[in-house]
Structure 1
Amino acid sequence: MTRTTLEVCVEDAHGIAAAVGGGADRIELCAALDVGGLTPPASLVRAAAQAPLPVHLLARPRAGGFVYDAADRALVAEDIRTAAEAGLAGVVIGASREDGRLDTDLLARWIAFSRDLGEARGTPLSLTLHRAFDLVPDLPTALDEAVALGFERILTSGGAPLAVDGGDMLATLVARAGDRITILAGSGVSATTLPAILSTGVREVHASCRAPLPAADPMLARFGFAAVGAKATDAATVTELVHFLRADRS
């Protein structure tokens, strides 16, 4: 039976080590996971390029929505260049129109740029459409658009805040996708929610695998240098999901 892929999103060097040590199949490299992930710093990109796993860079220049002006668009293009030049395996991109539909014109330009960079380095960049997809008014139509654009996968929670609540739509998307594109289920993925999520037919899942950190030093928290209730990627949590997925597919 086909093995289910576990992608772990991480935001620092410790997260990279935890994802590798826990047995993840792939890394999505981000910063600021508490706001859904932003583009990571170049220093972290270079560190991640040494990981023994495929690494996909999230290119998202700011928090908030996905309608981008010229400055934002230029930043995403440079993020794609950074990923290619660092030797990462792929990029995760997305953009919306004012009405919530995918900005297919902008996405087509970024994809063409990524393909040019892939040809220049001799290895194509894998292309994932991020959860801007979950905000579109018609997910099945947007899936067809993603296929036409040339994306390899879509990161989605089925149009719900949590993937476990978007199960019906995830199943619809998996059936519609067929062999044309991969549905990567993410948001709230844990050992508790995996059975319901996997029942939709998805064969790739995306999780942060974060666990609470010890309480921050009061002085650091007082000055705003450490977040109260902070979390970090946890190798044991990664391993727990890996074991569940392997047992589920054995």
Structure 2
Amino acid sequence: MSVRLEVCVDSPEGLAAAIAGGADRIELCAALDLGGLTPPAGLMALAAKAPIPVYAMIRPRAGNFVYDGDNEAAMLADVDAARTAGLAGVVIGASCADGTLDLPLLTRLSERAKDMGVTLHRAFDLVPDPIQALEQAIELGVERVLTSGLQVKALDGLGTLKVLADLAADRLSIMPGSGINIFNVERIVSETGVHEVHSSCRVPLEAVDQKAVNFGFQPSASYQTNSVTVLQMRNLLDMIGNKG
């Protein structure tokens, strides 16, 4: 059983580290500390040169996933920008006020990305009924659902992740994400039976520019995707796959 590794990155350095470490796919973002926002055009253009598929996060702002018409217009334009840049796919999500998936908006976004790959992001983790939401995601035609099993961290949502993976079968992929690292990935894969995982593979930056921190240009604690960590995760997933 092959287990694929998607690495989320938000900088040119992170992109290079993910590729060097052996990631199978990139989720390209801005502001990972906010859960990931739409990456800028320049980063999309750089990522389009990558030797592996790159999916752009389509999220116009921090906060919830309830979007008005202006946000929708921005998201549709960002889908177009990802296609123009030459990226393989997009990562979308939208909620109604009650947490259910905003199917009309998701349908419009999916149709706009009809010639690209589509991942449904962790807006899924806010739904009141994950089984219903899974069937809706399948009906939308997305390739995969990025989810932590409706918990803050995937390790706490293993039961739901397994149920979702079993129900999804070969109709779409359930991809666990949130808090996945080299210390827990084997348990997560073995207990859920998933075929791909999502991780930032980030480590704390040893050197922080204190002047930049003082001016508010950099947070006091910064993290960056690390190629050695990506490689360790890649090797672990290969070992798990060989066992299977």
Q: TM-score, normalised by structure 2?
A: 0.97
Q: Deviations over 1:24-77 (max 9, x none)?
A: 000000010011000010000000000101000000000000000111001110
| Partner Cα separation in structure 2 for residue 229 and residue 215 of structure 1 | 10
Is 1:225 aligned to 2:217, yes or no? yes
Q: CA deviation at 1:196?
A: 2.0
Q: Distance in 1 between matches of 2:212 and 2:94?
A: 36
Matched ranges for 1:144-155 at <5 A: 144-155=135-146
Q: 2:165 is matched with which residue?
A: 174
Give how far 1:225 is off. Answer: 1.7
Matches of 1:218 and 1:168, distance apart in 2: 43
Deviation for aligned residue 1:219: 1.6
Aligned partner of 2:227 in structure 1 is: 235
Query: Is the CA contact (8 Å cut-off) linking 2:26 and 2:53 kept in structure 1?
Result: yes
Instruction: Give the superposed CA RMSD.
Output: 0.8
Contact 2:44 2:82 in 1 (8 A): yes
Pairwise CA distance, 1:111: 1.1
- Alpha-carbon deviation of 1:3? 0.6
1:157 to 148, 153, 161: 148
- Number of aligned positions between the proteins: 241
Q: Is the 8 A contact 2:186 2:236 kept in 1?
A: no
Summarize the alignment of residues 64-75 of structure 1 with structure 2, pairs less than 5 Å apart: 64-75=63-74
Give unmatched runs, 5+ long, in structure 1: 119-124
Q: State the shift of 1:226 in Å.
A: 1.8
- Output the CA distance in 1 between the equivalents of 2:210 and 2:64: 33
Local SS of the residue matching 2:192: coil
Paired residue type of 1:225: F
SS at match of 1:249: helix
Is there any run of 5+ residues in structure 2 with no aligned partner, and where? none
1:67-106 maps to which residues of 2 (within 5 A)? 67-106=66-105
Runs of 4 or more consecutive aligned structure 1 residues displaced over 6 Å after TM superposition: none
SS at match of 2:113: helix
User: What letter matches 1:158 in structure 2?
Assistant: G
State, as a whole percentage, how many aligned pairs show the same letter. Answer: 50
The question of whether the paired residues in 2 share the 8 Å contact of 1:167 and 1:196 is answered with: no
Q: Which moved more, 1:139-148 or 1:218-227?
A: 218-227
Aligned to 2:187, the other structure's residue is in SS state: helix
Partner of 1:20: 19
SS in structure 1 of the partner of residue 176 of structure 2: strand
- Farther off after superposition, 215-224 or 84-93: 215-224
Deviation at 1:112, TM superposition (A): 1.3
1:248 aligned residue: 240
* Per-residue CA distance 1:76-120 (angstroms, 9 max, x = gap): 1011101111111100000000110000011111111211xx2xx
8 Å contact kept, 1:215–1:228: no
Which of 119, 130, 133 is matched with 1:128 structurally?
119
**Matched residue, 2:52:** 53
Cα distance in 2 for residues equivalent to 1:70 and 1:204? 34
- Structure 2 equivalent of residue 209 of structure 1: 201
Q: TM-score, normalised by structure 1?
A: 0.95
CA distance, structure 2, for counterparts of residue 168 and residue 104 of structure 1 = 26
Q: Secondary structure at the match of 2:5?
A: strand
The offset of 1:195, in angstroms, is 2.0
Partner of 1:122: none
Q: CA deviation at 1:201?
A: 0.7
In the alignment, the residues of structure 1 paired with residue 208 and residue 13 of structure 2 have an alpha-carbon distance, to the nearest angstrom, of: 17
